[in-house]
Amino acid sequence: MLNLVLFGPPGAGKGTQSALLIDKYNLVHLSTGDIFRYNMKENTELGILAKSYIEKGALVPDEVTIAMLEAEVNSNSKAKGFIFDGFPRTHKQAEALDTFLASKGTAISAMLALEVEVEELVVRLLERGKSSGRADDQNPKIIKNRIQVYDNETAILKDYYSAQNKFVGVKGVGSITDITSSLCKEIDTLI
């Protein structure tokens, strides 16, 4: 199986690039942000809970997020592999993912990290907020909070995957096609 963590701060382009990569490599895209937003739209119990965190720019608690992610993987039992987008975001999530995948006889192949300067992230998120309807993209204070959460809790995962020799940094600035090519070049070394 090819299991990729597509990593990077909010606004780095994980969603855009995931959509372009899944067809080429025949992978299932699991975006925790998308799954939460779907549940929010449908007003499910999970959606109502997630909303209270997401609208502040905070992380949804690990237990809830991990259980949701595992259920999604289990419901795609025929998948040839996954792109994890927005997961893991904490050390606890990364450990849970390793244990869970090991129990299925598989593992993360690599973490591909999109690298983008913070000034560029804020510009991109505010721009996306104009059309996406995402409340968390429209308020500079919430954006700042999300980037801070990334710096405090999520960025350390680079060390986590480096320790396993699985960290790959990719420049996330330039044309979408060029960034896809850089990612493909790295992915092709894994298969």
CA 156 – CA 173 distance, rounded (Å)? 21
Residues 57 and 146 sit within 8 Å (Cβ to Cβ): yes
Please list, in sequence order, all residues whose beta carbon lies within 8 angstroms of the beta carbon of residue 187, skipping any fewer than 6 positions away. 2, 4, 21, 25, 110, 112
- The verdict on whether 146 is a catalytic residue reads yes
Interface pick for ligand ADP out of 3, 17, 18, 32 (rule CB under 6 A): 32
Work out whether 39 is an interface residue with ligand ADP (CB under 6 A). no
Work out whether 146 is an interface residue with ligand ADP (CB under 6 A). yes
Which residue lies nearer to ligand ADP by CB, 57 or 172?
57
For the bound state, the minimum distance from the C-beta of residue 109 to ligand ADP, rounded and expressed in Å, comes to 19
Which residue lies nearer to ligand ADP by CB, 3 or 32?
32
Strands (E), the chain: 2-7, 28-31, 81-85, 110-115, 167-171
CA 91 – CA 26 distance, rounded (Å)? 28
For the bound state, the minimum distance from the C-beta of residue 2 to ligand ADP, rounded and expressed in Å, comes to 20
| Residue 6, beta-bridge partner list | 85, 112
Work out whether 36 is an interface residue with ligand ADP (CB under 6 A). yes
**Which part of the chain contacts ligand ADP (CB under 6 A), choosing from 32-40, 74-82, 97-105, 175-183?**
32-40
Locate tokens 């990364």: which residue?
Answer: 94
Work out whether 124 is an interface residue with ligand ADP (CB under 6 A). no
Query: Directed axis angle between helix 62-74 and helix 32-41, to 10°?
Result: 100
Backbone Cα Rg of the chain? 16
Work out whether 3 is an interface residue with ligand ADP (CB under 6 A). no
Q: 115 by DSSP, 3-state: which?
A: strand
Residue type at 104 in one-letter notation? K
Dihedral angle computed from the Cα positions of residues 14, 16, 17 and 19, in that order, rounded to the nearest 10 degrees: 110
Interface pick for ligand ADP out of 1, 16, 53, 79 (rule CB under 6 A): 53
Q: Tell me, residue by residue from 150 to 189, as one string, x for binding to ligand ADP by CB under 6 A and - for no binding.
A: ----------------------------------------
Q: What positions carry a catalytic annotation?
A: 14, 89, 128, 134, 146
Which residues contact ligand ADP (rule: CB under 6 A)?
Answer: 10-11, 32-33, 36, 53-54, 57-60, 65, 86-87, 89, 93, 136, 146
